Chains A and B, each alone.
Chain A
Amino acid sequence: MNARMFAVRVALPVLAVAAISVEAHAADFDWKKFQGKTVTFLANNNPVAQALLTYKDDFEKLTGMTLKVDGYQEQQMRQRLVTVMNAHSDEVDVFMTLPSREGEQFSAAGWYADLTAMARNDVAKEYDPAGLSQALLKAATFGGKLTSMPMNIEGPIFYYRTDIFKKCGIEKPATIKDVEAAAAKIKACDSSVTPFVSRGLKPAIAYTFSNVLHNIGGSYIANGKSNLCSAKGKEALDTYSRLLRDFGPPGVVNYSFQQISALYRSGRAAMSFESSNELRTAMEGGARLKDTALMPFPAGEAGQVPTVIGWGLTVSSHSKQPDAAWYFVQWATSPAVQKKMALQGIAPPRPSVANDPEYRKWIDEEPVRKEWQAALDVLATKGSSEVGYPIVANPESREFIGQAVQDMILKQKSVDQACADADKALDALIAQK
Chain B
Amino acid sequence: MSDAAATMAQGRQRLELSALSAPAVIFTVAMIAFPVVYTIWLGFQSFSNTGKQSFAGLANYSKLISDNEFWHGLWVTIALYVLSLVLQLVFGIWLALILFHAKRLPGIVRSLFISPFMMPPVVAGMMWLVILDPSLGAANYILQSLGLPPSEWLASPTWVIPTVALIDSWQWTPYVALIVLGGLQSLPSSVYEAAQIDGASAFKTFQRITLPLLLPTIVTAAILRSVDLLRFFDIIYITTQGGPGNASNTLNIYGFRVGFEFFNIGYASALMLTLTAIVLGAVLAFNRLRGAVAW
Q: Provide the residues of chain B in CB contact with A89, threshold 8 Å.
A: none
The one of B50, B155, B246 in contact with A250, judged by C-beta atoms closer than 8 angstroms, is: B155
Instruction: Mark the stretch among A62-70, A260-268, A271-279 that contacts chain B.
Output: A260-268
Chain B: interface residue total (CB-CB under 8 A): 29
- How many angstroms between the C-alpha atoms of A259 and B153 in the bound complex? 15
Contact A432 B244 (CB under 8 A): no
Known: A194-B135, A253-B243. A410 touches B157 (CB 8 A): yes
With both chains docked as a complex, state the minimum distance between the C-beta of A277 and any C-beta of chain B, in angstroms.
20
Contact B50 A105 (CB under 8 A): yes
Q: Provide the residues of chain A in CB contact with B245, threshold 8 Å.
A: 202, 253, 403, 406-407, 410, 412
Nearest residue (CB) in A for B48 is A433
Q: Which of A105, A251, A259 has the most CB of B within 10 A?
A: A251
Instruction: Mark the stretch among B23-31, B191-199, B261-269 that contacts chain A.
Output: B261-269
Q: Provide the residues of chain A in CB contact with B155, threshold 8 Å.
A: 250-254
B85 close to chain A: CB less than 8 A: no
With both chains docked as a complex, state the minimum distance between the C-beta of B240 and any C-beta of chain A, in angstroms.
6
Instruction: Mark the stretch among A119-127, A171-179, A340-348, A390-398 that contacts chain B.
Output: A390-398
Interface flags, B123-135, vs A, CB<8A=1, else 0: 0000000000111
Q: Provide the residues of chain B in CB contact with A396, threshold 8 Å.
A: 49, 261-262
- How many angstroms between the C-alpha atoms of A266 and B154 in the bound complex? 21
Contact B262 A395 (CB under 8 A): yes
A417 close to chain B: CB less than 8 A: no
B1 close to chain A: CB less than 8 A: no
B34 close to chain A: CB less than 8 A: no
A56 close to chain B: CB less than 8 A: no
- How many angstroms between the C-alpha atoms of A82 and B246 in the bound complex? 24
The one of A79, A105, A110, A410 in contact with B49, judged by C-beta atoms closer than 8 angstroms, is: A105
B120 close to chain A: CB less than 8 A: no
Contact B133 A259 (CB under 8 A): yes
Q: Provide the residues of chain B in CB contact with A201, threshold 8 Å.
A: 241, 243
A7 close to chain B: CB less than 8 A: no
A and B contact pairs by CB, cutoff 8 A, 25 listed: A75-B260, A78-B261, A85-B51, A105-B49, A105-B263, A202-B241, A250-B134, A250-B155, A251-B133, A251-B134, A251-B135, A251-B152, A253-B245, A254-B154, A254-B155, A254-B239, A254-B243, A262-B136, A266-B136, A392-B50, A406-B243, A406-B244, A410-B157, A412-B245, A433-B49
> What 4 pairs between A and B have smallest CB-CB spacing?
A251-B155, A251-B134, A250-B134, A253-B244
